[in-house]
Amino acid sequence: MSTAIQTFSGTFLSDPIHSSFQFSLTHMQIGTFRASFGSFEARAEVGEADLRMEGTVRADSISITDPPEFREHVVNGADFFDAANHPEITFRSVDVSLADDGTFTAQGELTIRGITKAVAASGTHQPLVEDPFGSRRTAIGLHATLDRRDWGMDWQMPLPNGGDALGYEVTLDVHVELVEQR
């Protein structure tokens, strides 16, 4: 544990308007497909000696809207998120480190489609600031790379000249602005 965490403690909840959760993966070996989740919550509990984080994303809040059959396949289809049977994606930290230089690492458990796997994320954190309304805020930015097959999302279609239509490696980019609860 670095000294950065020693400067504050308490419970912090995500500000949904000023936070984002996005993912991306290779499409047709030439482009990048990007989407985001519109509904997620995060919580950080900062104690004297540790920091614990957890977050929940609504799988049906994915930004894909058109065409409806594509949205249905990705959001509710068994090949991908299967939101009807697994409506939430959750993360719980097991080890978090904030360094004085602004870097951040988190080890934790990510559950998608009822499957829980260990993940590691890294990024940055911002020092506490007071907002115009008297609340204290901080922010974290996380980046992680996962293999979607680890969570049973193994849909694939071969390309005519070889290779796969959809990459297996998924990049997560999360920015969470956290507000202290009093």
Question: Where are the chain's structural domains?
Answer: 3-180
- pTM, 2 dp: 0.90
- Please say if the pLDDT value at position 2 is more than 80: no
Cβ-proximal residues to 1 (8 Å cutoff; 6+ apart), any chain = 49, 50, 97, 98
- Position 7 scores a pLDDT of 63
Distance CA 96, CA 173 (A): 17
Quote the mean pLDDT of the chain: 92
Q: Long-range contacts made by residues 121-127, C-beta under 8 angstroms, separation at least 24?
A: 121/172, 121/174, 123/174, 125/4, 125/98, 126/102, 127/4, 127/7
pLDDT of residue 1: 37
For residue range 54-78, list pLDDT tens digits in order.
999 999 999 999 999 999 999 999 9
Cα–Cα distance, 104 to 101 (Å, whole number): 9
| Residues 177, 20: Cα–Cα separation, whole Å | 9
Residue 50: predicted pLDDT: 80
Q: CATH assignment of 3-180, given 2.40.128.110, 3.40.50.150, 2.60.40.420, 3.10.310.30? A: 2.40.128.110
> Under DSSP, is residue 151 helix (H, G, I), strand (E, B) or coil?
helix
pLDDT band at 98 (very low <50, low <70, confident <90, very high): confident
Predicted pLDDT of residue 48: 74
CB 41 within 8 A of CB 179: no
